[in-house]
Chains A and B, each alone.
Chain A
Amino acid sequence: MVAEVKQSRGFVGPAFFRTQLNRFGPLLGLVLVIAVFSVLTGAPERYLAPKNLRTVLVQTVIVAIGAIGMTMIIISGGIDLSVGSAIALTGVITALGINAGLSPVIAITAGILVGGLVGVVNGLVITRLRVVPFIATLGMLGVARGVAKGVAGSQTVNMPETWANNLLSTVPKPEWLLVAPGVWMAIALAVIAAIVLRNTVFGRRVFALGSNEAAARACGIATDRLKVTIYALAGLLFGLAGVMQMSRLRLGDPTVSAGLELDVIAAVVIGGGSLNGGEGTILGSMIGALIMAFLRNGCQQLGWENYVQEIIIGAIIVIAVAVDRWRSARAAAESY
């Protein structure tokens, strides 16, 4: 960061703006969305009231935790389409555990580990069977959803009241937490993941893998093992997202989150992640997730119909990526 500032000191030209835009583009988008809706609702004090912000944050958590894992996968040049199914499966497993009388801690751990297991299988199919990630995880989308329905007996899994039900209440228990415990967990995980990606050997290798796999292998990185590790870590996060989903529903629902993978991928892409690999930040992805949550909330408060909302979110994904392409085209042009 210091180096970049030095480079551009004394030269406040396009390059400077580009660097700044690069860093603050998604944030600018978020501020813009919040500002627009504050004005449109005609009651900014209500739109920005703690009550509403708390609701939006809670509604962001599941996509946000998923997006942390997805960011790693996308940076490494992969993709995971099985997130929604993995969330349903791990939620059902956790609910079954709690219903069977296990302590919530054990049941939740089991749920998270099942998420990791789904990730390991994805990783192994991709590396050992040489199936491209898109297809491997498309298969898993079906398999995990089917297993979820199977173990749940094709119906929702009820469970007794425990503290696990309050991870994502809009009004947190205890109230001095200000926001639900799940929101704090998501923030903590995002900070940890950002540090790991930026400052550790593992993190640098993930970027190297996504930027140029052949070069990474030539440099002595065991790319196959690295891939399995990435999908497994992401899987653990998807497992946690599944636990959060179960907590919100207060039951295990094998049909929930169908299509959620697209929200998660959209969050990463809006946040500056590139599906070509090698690019993406945790902060960006979190902002991407927030943008979509604020959009939904704002559209609802304005009484817009769902179709308007879907069109806007679709348009924003395309605009975000178009801006990104334009940015990197400019960068390429300037480096010659």
Chain B
Amino acid sequence: MRRTISLLIVLVMIATVSCKKPGGPAASGKKKLTIAVIPKGTTHEFWKSIHAGSNKAASELSAQGNDVAVIWKGPLREDDREQQIQVVEGFTAQGVDGIVLAPLDNRALVRPVEDARRAGVPTVIIDSALESDAIVSFVATDNRKGGVLAADRLGQLLNGKGKVLVLRYAEGSASTTDREEGFIGEIKQKFPGIELVSTDQYAGATRDTAKRASENLLNRFADEVQGIFTPNESATAGMLLALQDIGKAGKVTFVGFDASQVFIDAMRLNQLHGIVVQNPFNMGYLGVRSIVDHLQGKPVEKRIDTGVTMVTRDNLEAPEIQTLLHPPLDQYLK
């Protein structure tokens, strides 16, 4: 029995020791606002940038005399819809002032967000859309514009003629479908001399599936295409690997999406001729700014674009591009 008690005491101590959050700063004149920021996962660089951005917003707002605290909490299992629902429900029950959410699913998260709204907790959606009107604002990349940027770059490099293929990401993924459609629409409209030889193949969820799909596509089209577009990180990585394997990297004009060190290296080797990058840091920043504006009764736009940028070998070293590729994570994440 005594040992049981000591075990229980150990348990309490584990719990107590890991409690390292004191009450927070003393409230200034205004009411303290607690904002929960809920990403899709916590380990990817993309989400770390969003975290840093939301922390920046909180510290800026606090410096202006608004007491704002950000709680960062992802689903316990990455990319698990149920776990993310539990996090939203938990914050609703806890009674935070507002939620900034990157929903893992455009439908599954509707009920918890609407329940939160009914309980008096408003939500700003970031990154991916939610099929609900009960939200304050949707703060995200204009994906269509990203596709258009890619098409302009590829069209110019090819001088408006040649054969191009698009390796799509996955069926039913809204953000990448917008990029693909933006790309295809712009090519058809602005570059009639360019022929789209394949636009119906999918890369699938991982780098590995993307590489296989790329290999199959290249087996058929490698000798005739001059241009390639891929709409996200894994598809771009898979295509790049496949091109390198068959010695075609650098011989076709290739524009991808999202940033990674591998892509930057490939760009320096002229194997990749441009990547469209989003601005997750800005997404986190504007997400928190918008919910706080809303809570303070200021009007908030229903749709806020966080911007897309074309990164090429030429502008790679520019300071603003470097900040975009390497957001100041260390400064805001401690």
Contacts and interface: CB of A to CB of B under 8 A. Distances in A.
Given A171-B115, A306-B42, A297 B105 contact: no
A55 B119 CA distance: 13
Contact of B90 (A28, A156, A259, A297): A297
A222 B42 CA distance: 50
Interface in A109-130: none
Contacts of B76: 296, 306, 309-310
A215 interface: no
Contacts of B79: 255
Contacts of B49: none
B246 interface: no
A18 B3 CA distance: 12
B91 interface: yes
Nearest to B79: A255
Contacts of B93: 49, 51-52, 54-56, 170, 297
Contacts of B1: 14, 17-18, 21
Given A249-B105, A301-B94, A59 B8 contact: no
A40 B115 contact: no
A300 B91 contact: yes
Interface string A7-46: 0000000100110010001001100100011001010001
B249 to A, nearest CB: 29
A166 to B, nearest CB: 9
A129 to B, nearest CB: 32
Contact of A170 (B10, B73, B89, B105): B89
Q: A28, A55, A303, A316: which has the most chain B beta carbons within 10 Å?
A: A303
Nearest to A62: B82
Interface string A217-251: 00000000000000000000000000001001111
Contact of A304 (B18, B87, B110): B18
B65 interface: no
A169 interface: yes
B171 interface: yes
B105 A59 contact: no
A156 B21 contact: no
Contacts of B73: 300, 303, 305-306
Contacts of B119: 51
Contacts of B171: 153-155
Given A14-B1, A251-B108, A256-B81, A308 B18 contact: yes
Contacts of A303: 21, 71, 73
Given A55-B90, A154-B171, A300-B90, A169 B14 contact: no
A15 to B, nearest CB: 11
B108 A59 contact: no
Interface string B118-131: 11000000000000
B90 A21 contact: no
A58 interface: yes
Contacts of B12: 32, 36
A253 interface: yes
B77 interface: yes
Q: A37, A171, A248, A311: which has the most chain B beta carbons within 10 Å?
A: A248
A250 B108 contact: yes
Given A52-B94, A55-B92, A302-B19, A326 B107 contact: no
A319 interface: yes
B15 interface: yes
A169 B18 contact: no
Nearest to B95: A46
B15 A55 contact: no
B7 interface: yes
A297 B94 CA distance: 9
Contacts of A251: 105, 107-108
A312 interface: yes
B320 interface: no
A257 interface: yes
A99 interface: no
Given A55-B89, A250-B111, A312-B14, A32 B82 contact: no
A147 to B, nearest CB: 18
A209 B178 CA distance: 58
A287 to B, nearest CB: 15
Interface in A173-188: none
A251 B111 CA distance: 11
A258 B80 contact: yes
Contacts of B156: none
Contact of B4 (A42, A155, A165, A323): A323
B158 interface: no
A115 B14 CA distance: 39
9 nearest CB pairs, A to B: A52-B93, A249-B108, A55-B93, A300-B90, A155-B172, A303-B71, A55-B89, A301-B94, A308-B18
Given A25-B4, A315-B11, 12 more contacts: A51-B93, A156-B107, A156-B108, A250-B111, A251-B105, A296-B86, A303-B71, A304-B19, A305-B73, A310-B76, A311-B18, A312-B14
Interface of B: 1, 3-4, 7-8, 10-12, 14-16, 18-19, 21, 23, 42, 71-74, 76-77, 79-82, 85-87, 89-95, 105, 107-108, 110-112, 115, 118-119, 171-172
10 contacts: A17-B1, A36-B15, A55-B90, A56-B93, A249-B85, A258-B80, A310-B76, A311-B18, A312-B14, A315-B14
